[in-house]
Amino acid sequence: MPSLIERIRTSLDRPIAPKLRGDQDFGEHGTHPPAGLLVPAAVLVPIIPAPQPKLLLTTRTPHLRSHAGQVAFPGGRIDDTDDGPVMAALREAEEEVGLPPASVQVLGLSDPYRTGTGYEVRPVVGLLPETLDLKANPAEVADVFQVPLEYVLDPANHHLREAEWQGRMRRYYSIEWDGRLIWGATAGMLVNLAGRLA
């Protein structure tokens, strides 16, 4: 049977899902700006290929203007100087956690994810070296940690929640692991990736 990483690699070779899943899928009468007005962004979905593969995640610092204190993938806006989402994701990962771009083996891109805050995010899935010497940028990252990849991709651990946001009820995914809460866009992108493996 193929390993989990091989299954992910194969799944990324398939075309993008016809429906772009994002925050709007889980809200009542959710609206987004037209596609051309969405801000392009990219994140690195960093996998450590140990015998039991791990996923590297960050906790954003509490003083940031947006998504403060949330669990996230390294990433951000695609700048004009970036040559597409792969370069943007690798640049952001180097800025946030000191990950050298040349050390990442890119497996492919997962489905775009549209956020309720007006971003269209491209997840770039990549393999990291098993031994890492990372240094979190304290201006952006409070913590760097690893979670079992199999656990976060298991649909049994994907919980649909509901909360009021900007005056209306919104639904979103969450994944709880070892006292940590992965939710919102980060959890949604993991749910999408898990859907490619189904």
pLDDT (tens digit per residue) in 95-108: 999 999 999 999 99
User: Averaged over 133-138, what is the pLDDT?
Assistant: 88
Contact of 126 with 36, CB cutoff 8 Å = no
First-to-last alpha carbon distance for the chain, in angstroms, is: 15
Parallel/antiparallel/unpaired status of strands 75-77 and 71-72 = unpaired
At the second CATH level, the architecture of 4-148 is: Alpha-Beta Complex (3.90)
CA 187/CA 181 separation, integer angstroms: 9
Mapping DSSP to helix (H, G, I), strand (E, B) and coil, where does residue 95 land? helix
Nearest to 128 by CA among 74, 73, 48, 9: 48
In Å, what is the CA distance from 41 to each residue of 50, 98, 99, 119, 160?
A: 28, 19, 18, 6, 24
pTM of the entire predicted model: 0.88
Domain locations along the chain: 4-148
Determine whether 155 is exposed, middle or buried from the number of CB atoms within 10 Å of its CB (0-12, 13-18, 19+): exposed
CA 130/CA 98 separation, integer angstroms: 15
CA 49/CA 60 separation, integer angstroms: 24
Q: Tell me: the pLDDT tens digits for 12-31?
A: 988 776 555 565 554 333 45
* pLDDT value at residue 22: 62
Q: Tell me: the pLDDT tens digits for 63-98?
A: 655 554 589 999 999 999 999 999 999 999 999 999
Parallel/antiparallel/unpaired status of strands 39-48 and 119-127 = parallel
